Amino acid sequence: MKAITLTFICLSALATQAQASSSDAWAAFDKAVLASCTKASGLKNAKPIGSAAQFDDRVEYTALLLQGQYPQKHMKGQQGTELCLYNKKSKTAYVTEWDSIRPPAKTQ
């Protein structure tokens, strides 16, 4: 009976430790995605909108929506949106403008 209890305690401790590592690993991954996408972005003060979309491992990509200001002088600090696709395998971020995701400004 003691051996079964001891085994259960050891397995519980390992499971708890694995969960902590997994949470730490996900936090580190999210941080890497954000850093890579922000660096690849052409927007000033780029910030994520919501959290990253995690695709199935067969896809090998994570998607993140960013928002910031266009840096070009003629854009006069206008707000812009970009979609970032982060390749999990190569650890490379690719961004494209995606202002069409937002509804057009109303004119009166």
> Could you read off the pLDDT of 65-92 as tens digits, one per residue?
999 999 999 999 899 999 999 999 999 9
Kind plus residue range of the DSSP H or E element containing 6: helix 2-40
- 102 pLDDT tier (thresholds 50, 70, 90): confident
| Any domain includes 11 | yes
> What residues make up the domain containing 86?
2-101
Stated pTM of the model: 0.73
Distance CA 52, CA 59 (A): 14
pLDDT at 48: 97
| Any domain includes 95 | yes
| Any domain includes 106 | no
| Any domain includes 107 | no
| More confident site: 10 or 38 | 38
| Any domain includes 73 | yes
| Any domain includes 53 | yes
The Cα-based distances of 81 to 8, 18, 86, 87 in angstroms read: 50, 37, 16, 20
| Any domain includes 108 | no
Distance CA 15, CA 84 (A): 34
Number of domains in the chain: 1
| Any domain includes 75 | yes
Burial of 93 (0-12, 13-18, 19+ CB in 10 A): buried
